[in-house]
Amino acid sequence: MIQGIVVGLQARIGLILRLPENLDIEIECVVDTGFEGFLTLPSPEIAKLGLHYLGQINAKLADNSNVATNVYLATILWNGVEKDVAVLGMGHRPLIGTALLEDYHLSIDFCDGGTVLVDDILRS
């Protein structure tokens, strides 16, 4: 189970990035259910982290416009398991998208200090 907190009506959870030499850093991310990708990070953060560049895509934004966006590869620790994910270099704050939430249950108490929980889906 992954736990977080609501701050200013933003659901936030910590995400562990696993860098070379098994150096782990935690980044606070906003859960964005309107973003279908895995993760976004601001370009300056990506440069500091030295993530591997994969290429460029045209990302469609909420206003239906397209923007050329660099894509990088990162290894994260998600619910205790290492996972390689595509990271879009864009925006001003880290965002977690629905690709990471696939096959998980998301629960958010939308009030300041509210609980954010990401857990396995219970299947019968």
List, for residues 58-86, the tens digit of each pLDDT value: 988 888 888 899 999 999 999 999 999 99
Distance CA 40, CA 37 (A): 8
- Which of 93, 94, 91, 116 is closest to 105 using CA atoms? 116
As given in the structure block, the two tokens for residue 89 are: 């270099």
Provide long-range contacts, Cβ within 8 A and 24+ apart, for 78-87.
78/2, 78/15, 79/1, 79/2, 79/104, 79/118, 79/120, 82/18, 85/38, 85/39, 86/37, 86/38, 86/39, 86/54, 87/38, 87/39, 87/40, 87/41, 87/46, 87/51
Q: How confident is the model at residue 124 (pLDDT cuts 50, 70, 90)?
A: low
Condensed to tens digits (0 to 9), the pLDDT of residues 98-120 reads: 999 999 999 999 999 999 999 99
The predicted model scores a pTM of 0.90
- Which of 45, 41, 46 is closest to 95 using CA atoms? 41
